[in-house]
Amino acid sequence: MIIRSAKLEDVPELYSCCVEAFKDYILLIGRTPGPMLEDLYEGVLHHDIFVAQEGDSIAGFILIKDGEGDFMWLDILAVYPKFRNKGIGNALVEFCEDFIRSEGKSECRLYTHVKYEKTQKLYLDRGFEIYDRVQEYGFDRYYMRKDLK
C-alpha cells in the first residue's frame, strides 16, 4: 500500500469510497452522514486529501483541514468495505498525525456521530479523547482530540 496526495481525477472514486464506507450509517442515524455531504472536489483543491492505494485501486482516503490555532482536523476517514481489517484506516490515521506534525501543529481534532461506536473505539484506542458533545446541523456529535507532542 502507498499513501499519496489525491488528484482531481481521483474525486469520482473518492465519492464512491465515501458512499460505500458510510452508507450503512444512514439508517442508524436517520439521515445522510456528514462525510457523504462533503464537496470532495473542493477538498482536493483547498485542503489535504491523501489516498491509500493498493495496486491500481483506491482502498481509502483521509481529508485533513487546517484548524484555527495549533491543530488540524481529521475531517473524513473512509475505507472501502472490501479493504477493511487490513490496517488501512490505522495507516491513514498515523499518516494524518505525522502530516499534522510536519505542518508544525501539535493536536489532531475530529468529530464523529455519537452512534458510531466502532469509529469512536478506533480513535479512543489510538489515544484520542472525547472533549465535547454537540448538537449541530441535525447531528449528535462527539468532538475528539489527540495531543501530538
Predicted confidence at residue 138, as pLDDT, reads: 87
Half-sphere exposure of 73 (CA within 13 A, CB side): 13
Residue 89 near residue 127 (C-beta atoms within 8 A): no
**146 phi-psi bin (left φ>0, alpha ψ -120 to 50, beta other):** beta
One-letter identity of residue 114: V
What confidence tens digit (pLDDT) does each residue in 23-44 have? 999 999 999 999 999 999 999 9
At residue 11, the 3 state secondary structure works out as helix
Residue 78 placed within a domain: yes
Task: Give how many domains the chain has, as a whole number.
Answer: 1
Residue 60 placed within a domain: yes
At residue 115, the 3 state secondary structure works out as coil
Residues of the chain whose pLDDT is less than 50? none
Residue 19 placed within a domain: yes
The single-letter DSSP state of residue 70 is S
What confidence tens digit (pLDDT) does each residue in 78-94 have? 999 999 999 999 999 99
Q: What is the CATH number of the domain that holds 95?
A: 3.40.630.30
Residue 99 placed within a domain: yes
Predicted confidence at residue 68, as pLDDT, reads: 86
